[in-house]
Structure 1
Amino acid sequence: METEQRSFRWGHEALHLEFVLGDDGSARLTHLGLPGEAGNGPRGSLPLVEVTATGHGRDWSGSRLVQTAIGGRLRHRTHRAARDGDWHTLTVQLHDPDTGLAAEVTYRSPDGIPALRSEVTLSFSADGGPDAAFAALTRYRRAHRRPHPDHLGLPVIFNDYMNCLMGDPTTEKLLPLIDAAAEAGAEYFVIDAGWYDDGGDGWWTTVGTWEPAASRFPGEKGIHEVLDRIRERGMVPGLWLEPEVIGVRSPMAKSLPDEAFFRRDGVRVTESGRHHLDLRHPAARAHLDQVVDRLVGEWGVGYLKLDHNIDPGSGTSAHPGESPGAGLLGHNRAHLDWLDGLLDRHPHLVVENCASGGMRWDHALLSRLQLQSTSDQQNLHLYAPIAASAPTAVTPEQGAVWAYPQPEDSLDEVAFTMASALLGRIHLPGLLPELGPEARALVHEAVAVYKAVRADLPRAVPSWPLGLPGWDDPWIALALHTPATTYLTVWRRPGGEATTSLQLADRAGGAAGVEVLYPTARQAVATWNPDTADLTVTLPTAPSTALLRITRAELDAP
């Protein structure tokens, strides 16, 4: 029987490369030269990578280097071509299923010049490469975290901050947003920074008491008019807090003892007009407990977004003989203990770890808190690689992604920003009342699609069919896999061709079909090849995106 072979080509007007793929997935270079020159064919081909596994050759060789070349065992996973200014780029991903060795080969050639530069990156995972490693890490994170209903419910959250009110909430501005958020399908409504700011010269140095600003919420009911409206529209109210800081002009800076703050050499630490609480001290902890119990227990707030916009330096040496690092570790442990106590008293409270848009992001916090802010990136084009990469560091059901449609956005841009959040947690800001009818319909459609698929996300594991995203990649892809279904978001940014091919390896083998879930009215086309597990996706415009669902065929009953 002859070996079945497939091929692909790459190059430009001055350089031409041909590759052949065997039926076992092996990839070989069959031609490198000028366009029009005859190739060598499969007999004269070379593996794309040659790897010498030192110390694993035949044992009669003194250095054990004989028969250690394993380049021929590397199998093709996927390849993609791109253009970066005057440079043409081809990236080919290979792997050895037996050992877990993975290779990424990148060819670069300047336009119009017959020159080629190649680079090879090797990685290793005993259980099948980066995708398998991150799948295992996702399962581990789920197994070692505090149980909470939010991990299964995944409610849709509206937050008034990003590309919206930007820290300037008032009753007048919030009421129409609340109505629009409810109409869009939001289930939580979070009032972000600024709700306590009653001065005209900024709140940065005055925070600490966490009382609502009468100038922002006038009238007899004050902020409770807004909180009541949120509940009337069927949503749970939330508030932003930065609990560990006290502004130097805050009344709390005088009422709390020095021992309740970070100190070095006996002097209270001040950074950008703020002090940092030391939660090992009972007065510091009692202050925060009083604040949270008032907001949650008395006001009925069901969501807290906890921020941390301060760099306290090396730590605190408040205790005798203590190094700043030891003091910082002591505070960190006390902070975790405080969070445990908060959730023990209010078990249905949802707490988001923001920390300057994800700058304090670790498993100690993720194992306790329900959501993690992934970024404060304001550019929808640049958020795509952040959203796609987020499952490397957080479970999909905890990764909060801003989806911020703007009145000036094109319909493709509205769909682009909404789709970025559909395989994570929707954080929906934006001036929704100012959107046109078609844009508003795209927002509503995205939320409805999310509610239809979110039950699968807490048991799905991630993979990256085009490789882990690069900051400037024109095509980006994130897949989430359940035993029966694969959800795939693909983003196309300016600079890429209209069509790309993705290989979902064994996870989606035998798929029965592919369906475009969002946006249904745009022009995405996806074609599945069950023989090769290749998916061809066409997005005619850039930027554009699509959320796809790939379902497996059930085996025939015996």
Structure 2
Amino acid sequence: MTNLLRWTTPDLALTFVLDDGPVRLIAVREASQPRGGEPDPSQPLVEVAAVGHGHSSNRHAGTVLGRQLRYARHDETETTLRIVQEELTTGLRVTSVFEARAGVRAWTEASIIGPGSLELTNLSSLVIGLASIDAELYSAANSWMAENRWSKRVLRDVLADIVRDPHHHVANSRHAVTGTNSWSTGETLPVGVLVDRSTPYALGWQIEHNGPWHYEFGENRRGGYLLLSGPTDHEHQWSVEITAGKPFTTVPVSLVVGTDVDSVFAALTRQRRAIRTRRPIDDRMPVVFNDFMNTLRGDPTTEKLLPLIDAAAEVGADYFCVDAGWYAEGDWWNTVGAWEPSTTRFPNGLAEVINRIHQHRMVPGIWLEPEVIGVRSPIADELPDDAFLTRHGKRVAENGRYLLDLRSPAARKHLDTTVDRLVDEFGIGFFKFDNNTMTGPGTDKGGTSLGHGLLEHNRALLSWLDAIQERHPDLLIENCASGAMRMDYAMLSRLHLQSTSDQEHPLLYAPISAAAPAAVLPEQAGNWAYPITGTTREEFTFALVNGIPGRLYLSGHLNRMTPAELDLVRSALTAHRAVLDDLHTLVPAWPLGLPMWTDDWIALALNGVDVSYLTLWHRAPGPSTITLPIPRSKIAPHFPTDLGDWTYAWNDDALVINANTPEPAARVLRLE
């Protein structure tokens, strides 16, 4: 006999099948949608494979153990649902945990009943049965200086349609999206949206892990499936032994639903806010000046910094961050690790620079790449091998750097001492934590699989970050990894700011800035604004506009700028601070669709109950007209404070914009 379990949160309703087979999740809908009409796909809620219990397929669905799991019990409250299943031949017990936030957060816990053990090679965080694969998939490529490149694919185009009847097999293909290595977003984002092509229904998800992850789609006889997972054996050389006393928990994932792409990203925005650990200091949301982009580029000295500090204070920056190079004596890439100030760059000591920042009532910040030790650094000889990621007993060395293993007490002590010293000695209130070296597949130290060693290190890194912020509650930390190569919500659920790119060309930064809210909260999206002195007014304005719809991350040679250029910077900061007042309540939408890398016109709306901010970029030279499907509103220029050669008019419920500038240009409008 089939029973349906319907668990409802304030936002979502999840429907499960409980019968004499494995538990199945057959519907994820908005809580307000009526019950009934749910399909009954055959896809199990949990897929699990183990040594000696594998299956002959590239895809992770259809596992032997997954099909043999049987419902044991469930416990539910208003905020949490736990469904327990067991597989009697192996003693495997899995618990699927669902946590109500703005959407739903889920993960899987596994252990063994009684004696014995099991070597897991794959365990899903969540598997959802799909009634149909007639849908469009939105996913994003992500690479250094070319982040957030969204695209749309029809799922049927990548999953072969073959004969399906009792005498023929269903296609065994899959569409897989995989993140590898320690750069969780080094190639693709762990975020996706599936939009049904026949009904107003869309499903969104994110995998919340600062290391390897995997999701895949496939077809079965009664529909299809979406599987969300952390590391696996097949993709990441991951396995782990579980026993009654040594359980395992997967990485968490989040689910939301909507009617279209924009409503799903609005729901993901609310979910990200719900899972984020927000401290009182995070409410400050300062404007940070950083000396790197299009400015000093890793070559700071006292002589170069002092006039920049004065100029940053004059335009109204709140924090001043000294970026890479402050520790460098000559070639520094493979000598880092001690994190002591250079004596040649700062003849009177770094304190002279830091004191100037304090004198201007700004908070000093500093760049640090904590997870690496240069192979030529004296610290490399002082720390034991246990402090580093190793393979077969040898330290992992990547591009002249050893990689610290944050499970090691010696590694953590070294980093704690470094951070505490910089905070105590200089009053550092902001760290830009960078990460420019990938780990490879992991470490087998302690007899673990490579992938599980990396997973344990990833989790130890999160624990280390939590401990820092507990010791230093007024410290803000920026998350950076060669730009946005580790832009995930394991990191961002606990850190203040995300560098969205290392891109230095303002025209190329526009699609990165515009698409950033699909991956990261607007109030965490550190979009560089680095105007270049001597450029035209439109070029100068364009660079500033890139930073306004998010967290404007200011850079540029302010000390070389003309009075008119500095006035424009001040005007941009005033406009940005007005956005900051509302930013933590705004949700993104894209009136022209998610931006493509080569689009001439790009539009991002940040919408609230009473006010919206519409940012428009026109990247082609010469006049152009664009029509945006936006309800009629009271509209005013926000930045610049006049539209210049741009005009607008309402045509029913559409906004017609005319850009009459002879060169690329950008504007921010305020709508009420």
**Smaller-chain TM-score range?**
0.7 to 0.9
- Distance in 1, Cα, partners of 2:666 & 2:361: 31
Query: What amino acid does structure 2 have at the position aligned with 1:233?
Result: H
Residue 264 of structure 1 and its aligned partner are, at CA, apart by: 0.2
Give 1:14-33 correspondences, 5 Å limit: none
Of 195, 201, 224, which residue of structure 1 is paired with 2:351?
Answer: 224
Q: TM-score, normalised by structure 1?
A: 0.74
Larger Rg: 1
- Distance in 1, Cα, partners of 2:435 & 2:621: 37
Contact 1:402 1:427 in 2 (8 A): yes
List runs of 5+ in structure 1 lacking aligned partners.
1-54, 57-94, 103-124, 552-558
Give 1:228-239 correspondences, 5 Å limit: 228-239=355-366
CA separation of 1:131/1:288 partners in 2, compared to 1, >3 Å: closer, same or farther? same
* Partner in structure 2 of residue 244 of structure 1: 371
For the residue of structure 1 that corresponds to 2:538, the secondary structure is helix
* Partner in structure 2 of residue 533 of structure 1: 653
Residue 438 of structure 1 and its aligned partner are, at CA, apart by: 2.1
For the residue of structure 2 that corresponds to 1:190, the secondary structure is strand
Give 1:190-205 correspondences, 5 Å limit: 190-198=321-329, 200=330, 202-205=331-334
* Partner in structure 2 of residue 481 of structure 1: 607
Of 495, 499, 502, which residue of structure 1 is paired with 2:628?
Answer: 502
* Partner in structure 2 of residue 547 of structure 1: 668
For the residue of structure 1 that corresponds to 2:397, the secondary structure is coil
Residue 526 of structure 1 and its aligned partner are, at CA, apart by: 4.6
Contact 1:411 1:438 in 2 (8 A): no
Residue 144 in 1 paired to residue 264 in 2? Answer: no
Going by fraction, where is strand more abundant, 1 or 2? 2
- Distance in 2, Cα, partners of 1:126 & 1:282: 42
- Distance in 2, Cα, partners of 1:191 & 1:464: 35
* Partner in structure 2 of residue 300 of structure 1: 427
Going by fraction, where is helix more abundant, 1 or 2? 1
Query: What amino acid does structure 2 have at the position aligned with 1:535?
Result: L
CA separation of 1:526/1:208 partners in 2, compared to 1, >3 Å: closer, same or farther? same
Give 1:163-174 correspondences, 5 Å limit: 163-174=294-305
CA separation of 1:126/1:158 partners in 2, compared to 1, >3 Å: closer, same or farther? closer
- Distance in 1, Cα, partners of 2:632 & 2:641: 24
Give 1:245-264 correspondences, 5 Å limit: 245-264=372-391
Say which is worse superposed, 382-391 or 437-446, in terms of deviation: 437-446
Contact 2:632 2:652 in 1 (8 A): no
Residue 452 of structure 1 and its aligned partner are, at CA, apart by: 2.2
* Partner in structure 1 of residue 397 of structure 2: 270
- Distance in 2, Cα, partners of 1:540 & 1:149: 45
List runs of 5+ in structure 2 lacking aligned partners.
1-36, 39-194, 203-255
Contact 2:514 2:603 in 1 (8 A): yes
CA separation of 1:438/1:477 partners in 2, compared to 1, >3 Å: closer, same or farther? same
Residue 463 in 1 paired to residue 589 in 2? Answer: yes
Contact 1:524 1:546 in 2 (8 A): no
- Distance in 2, Cα, partners of 1:461 & 1:98: 26
- Distance in 2, Cα, partners of 1:408 & 1:382: 19
Residue 206 in 1 paired to residue 335 in 2? Answer: yes
Contact 1:152 1:458 in 2 (8 A): no
Contact 1:151 1:398 in 2 (8 A): no
Number of aligned positions between the proteins: 426
- Distance in 2, Cα, partners of 1:532 & 1:151: 41
Contact 1:475 1:496 in 2 (8 A): no
- Distance in 2, Cα, partners of 1:495 & 1:452: 30
Query: What amino acid does structure 1 have at the position aligned with 2:460?
Result: A
* Partner in structure 1 of residue 407 of structure 2: 280
- Distance in 2, Cα, partners of 1:179 & 1:262: 43
* Partner in structure 2 of residue 519 of structure 1: 640
Of 200, 210, 217, which residue of structure 2 is paired with 1:100?
Answer: 200
Contact 1:261 1:277 in 2 (8 A): yes
- Distance in 2, Cα, partners of 1:138 & 1:150: 21
Give 1:412-491 correspondences, 5 Å limit: 412-491=538-617
Residue 234 of structure 1 and its aligned partner are, at CA, apart by: 1.6
Q: TM-score, normalised by structure 2?
A: 0.61
Contact 1:302 1:350 in 2 (8 A): yes
Query: What amino acid does structure 2 have at the position aligned with 1:256?
Result: L
- Distance in 1, Cα, partners of 2:370 & 2:571: 36
CA separation of 1:496/1:393 partners in 2, compared to 1, >3 Å: closer, same or farther? farther
Identity fraction in percent: 52
